[in-house]
Amino acid sequence: MVISVAAGIIMRDEQVFIALRSQDKHQGGCWEFPGGKVEQEEAPSAALARELAEECGIQVQESTPFQLIRHDYSDKSVELHFFKVTDFAGEPHGKEGQEVAWVPLSELAHYTFPEANVPIVEALLKR
Ligand SMILES: Nc1nc2c([nH]c(=O)n2[C@@H]2O[C@H](COP(=O)(O)OP(=O)(O)OP(=O)(O)O)[C@@H](O)[C@H]2O)c(=O)[nH]1
Ligand SMILES: [Mg+2]
Protein backbone atom coordinates (compact mmCIF):
# COMPACT_ATOMS: atom_id res chain seq x y z
CA MET A 1 0.00 0.00 0.00
CA VAL A 2 1.29 3.43 -0.92
CA ILE A 3 0.63 6.23 1.54
CA SER A 4 -0.22 9.54 -0.07
CA VAL A 5 1.25 12.60 1.63
CA ALA A 6 1.06 16.36 1.00
CA ALA A 7 3.98 18.54 2.16
CA GLY A 8 4.56 22.28 1.91
CA ILE A 9 7.67 24.22 1.04
CA ILE A 10 6.93 27.46 2.88
CA MET A 11 9.21 30.19 1.58
CA ARG A 12 9.84 33.77 2.62
CA ASP A 13 12.78 35.96 1.63
CA GLU A 14 14.99 33.06 0.45
CA GLN A 15 14.35 31.16 3.67
CA VAL A 16 12.36 27.99 4.05
CA PHE A 17 10.37 26.83 7.09
CA ILE A 18 11.15 23.28 8.23
CA ALA A 19 10.18 21.14 11.22
CA LEU A 20 11.90 18.37 13.16
CA ARG A 21 10.11 15.00 13.16
CA SER A 22 9.86 13.63 16.70
CA GLN A 23 11.81 10.44 17.45
CA ASP A 24 8.69 8.29 17.81
CA LYS A 25 7.55 9.05 14.24
CA HIS A 26 8.51 7.39 10.97
CA GLN A 27 11.85 8.97 9.95
CA GLY A 28 12.04 10.50 13.44
CA GLY A 29 14.97 12.84 14.02
CA CYS A 30 14.88 14.00 10.40
CA TRP A 31 13.81 17.48 9.36
CA GLU A 32 10.73 17.70 7.11
CA PHE A 33 8.63 20.02 5.08
CA PRO A 34 5.47 20.16 7.19
CA GLY A 35 2.52 18.13 6.00
CA GLY A 36 0.83 14.79 6.42
CA LYS A 37 -1.32 12.06 5.04
CA VAL A 38 -3.94 12.74 2.39
CA GLU A 39 -7.29 11.33 3.51
CA GLN A 40 -9.68 9.26 1.39
CA GLU A 41 -11.45 11.42 -1.20
CA GLU A 42 -9.33 14.44 -0.25
CA ALA A 43 -7.44 16.45 -2.85
CA PRO A 44 -3.70 16.75 -2.08
CA SER A 45 -3.96 20.55 -2.07
CA ALA A 46 -6.80 20.35 0.48
CA ALA A 47 -4.73 17.97 2.62
CA LEU A 48 -1.86 20.46 2.44
CA ALA A 49 -4.05 23.30 3.71
CA ARG A 50 -5.51 21.14 6.49
CA GLU A 51 -2.13 19.81 7.66
CA LEU A 52 -0.40 23.20 7.62
CA ALA A 53 -3.23 24.67 9.69
CA GLU A 54 -2.97 21.79 12.19
CA GLU A 55 0.81 21.60 12.40
CA CYS A 56 1.98 25.17 11.73
CA GLY A 57 -1.07 27.35 12.40
CA ILE A 58 -1.11 29.01 8.99
CA GLN A 59 -3.83 29.41 6.37
CA VAL A 60 -2.56 28.51 2.91
CA GLN A 61 -3.85 31.06 0.44
CA GLU A 62 -1.96 29.93 -2.63
CA SER A 63 0.06 26.81 -3.38
CA THR A 64 1.70 25.45 -6.53
CA PRO A 65 2.50 21.78 -7.20
CA PHE A 66 6.29 21.42 -7.17
CA GLN A 67 7.24 17.72 -7.44
CA LEU A 68 5.60 14.35 -6.96
CA ILE A 69 7.98 11.82 -5.47
CA ARG A 70 7.35 8.13 -5.02
CA HIS A 71 9.72 6.47 -2.56
CA ASP A 72 9.96 2.99 -1.07
CA TYR A 73 11.33 2.91 2.48
CA SER A 74 12.06 -0.54 3.91
CA ASP A 75 8.96 -0.30 6.08
CA LYS A 76 6.56 1.71 3.90
CA SER A 77 6.02 3.29 0.52
CA VAL A 78 5.05 6.91 0.15
CA GLU A 79 3.86 9.16 -2.63
CA LEU A 80 4.78 12.71 -1.64
CA HIS A 81 2.97 15.65 -3.21
CA PHE A 82 5.31 18.57 -2.60
CA PHE A 83 3.83 22.04 -3.01
CA LYS A 84 5.38 25.46 -2.91
CA VAL A 85 3.33 27.58 -0.56
CA THR A 86 3.35 30.90 -2.34
CA ASP A 87 0.95 32.83 -0.11
CA PHE A 88 -0.25 32.25 3.43
CA ALA A 89 -1.77 34.04 6.41
CA GLY A 90 -0.54 33.76 9.97
CA GLU A 91 2.96 33.14 11.29
CA PRO A 92 4.21 29.54 10.95
CA HIS A 93 5.15 27.96 14.27
CA GLY A 94 5.44 24.52 15.84
CA LYS A 95 1.79 24.20 16.81
CA GLU A 96 2.24 20.61 17.97
CA GLY A 97 5.34 21.42 20.03
CA GLN A 98 7.76 20.35 17.30
CA GLU A 99 11.08 22.12 16.86
CA VAL A 100 10.99 24.38 13.79
CA ALA A 101 13.43 26.61 11.92
CA TRP A 102 13.59 29.21 9.16
CA VAL A 103 16.62 28.17 7.16
CA PRO A 104 18.35 30.12 4.38
CA LEU A 105 18.10 28.05 1.18
CA SER A 106 21.90 28.06 0.95
CA GLU A 107 22.11 26.22 4.32
CA LEU A 108 19.55 23.52 3.58
CA ALA A 109 22.26 20.93 2.98
CA HIS A 110 23.25 21.12 6.65
CA TYR A 111 19.97 19.52 7.70
CA THR A 112 19.16 15.82 7.51
CA PHE A 113 15.93 15.06 5.63
CA PRO A 114 14.28 11.71 4.90
CA GLU A 115 15.74 9.89 1.88
CA ALA A 116 12.69 10.71 -0.27
CA ASN A 117 13.43 14.44 0.10
CA VAL A 118 16.87 14.35 -1.51
CA PRO A 119 15.67 15.48 -5.00
CA ILE A 120 13.64 18.29 -3.40
CA VAL A 121 16.55 19.62 -1.41
CA GLU A 122 18.75 19.43 -4.51
CA ALA A 123 16.18 21.32 -6.60
CA LEU A 124 15.88 24.04 -3.95
CA LEU A 125 19.65 24.39 -3.68
CA LYS A 126 19.92 24.89 -7.45
CA ARG A 127 17.51 27.80 -7.47
N1 LIG B 1 5.34 15.66 6.33
C2 LIG B 1 6.35 15.10 5.67
N3 LIG B 1 6.41 13.75 5.58
C4 LIG B 1 7.44 13.23 4.91
C5 LIG B 1 8.45 14.05 4.29
N6 LIG B 1 9.35 13.23 3.68
C7 LIG B 1 8.96 11.94 3.90
O8 LIG B 1 9.52 10.92 3.50
N9 LIG B 1 7.80 11.93 4.66
C10 LIG B 1 7.10 10.71 5.08
O11 LIG B 1 5.73 10.85 4.74
C12 LIG B 1 4.91 10.31 5.76
C13 LIG B 1 4.05 11.50 6.22
O14 LIG B 1 3.65 11.38 7.45
P15 LIG B 1 3.32 12.34 8.63
O16 LIG B 1 3.90 11.67 9.80
O17 LIG B 1 3.67 13.77 8.38
O18 LIG B 1 1.75 12.19 8.60
P19 LIG B 1 0.70 12.94 9.51
O20 LIG B 1 1.11 14.38 9.68
O21 LIG B 1 -0.63 12.63 8.86
O22 LIG B 1 0.88 12.34 10.94
P23 LIG B 1 0.67 10.98 11.71
O24 LIG B 1 1.96 10.23 11.52
O25 LIG B 1 0.48 11.43 13.12
O26 LIG B 1 -0.50 10.28 11.08
C27 LIG B 1 5.84 9.75 6.82
O28 LIG B 1 6.05 8.37 6.58
C29 LIG B 1 7.14 10.52 6.58
O30 LIG B 1 8.28 9.79 6.98
C31 LIG B 1 8.35 15.46 4.40
O32 LIG B 1 9.17 16.24 3.91
N33 LIG B 1 7.29 15.93 5.11
MG1 LIG C 1 2.80 15.42 9.56
**Each residue of 44-96: pLDDT tens digit?**
999 999 999 999 999 999 999 999 999 999 999 999 999 999 999 999 999 99
Query: Is the ipTM above a cut-off of 0.90?
Result: yes
Distance (angstroms) between ligand 2 centre and the Cα of 71 equals: 17
32 touches ligand 1 (CB under 6 Å):
yes
The CA distance from 53 to 55, in Å, is: 6
The total of other beta-carbon atoms located within 10 Å of residue 120's CB is 20
Q: Is the CB of 37 under 6 A from ligand 1?
A: yes
Ligand 1 close to Cβ of residue 94 (< 6 A): no
CATH code at position 13: 3.90.79.10
Which structural domain, as residue segments, surrounds residue 67?
Answer: 2-125
**CA–CA gap between residue 100 and residue 98 (Å, rounded):** 6
Counted domains in the chain? 1
Check: pTM over 0.95? Answer yes or no: yes
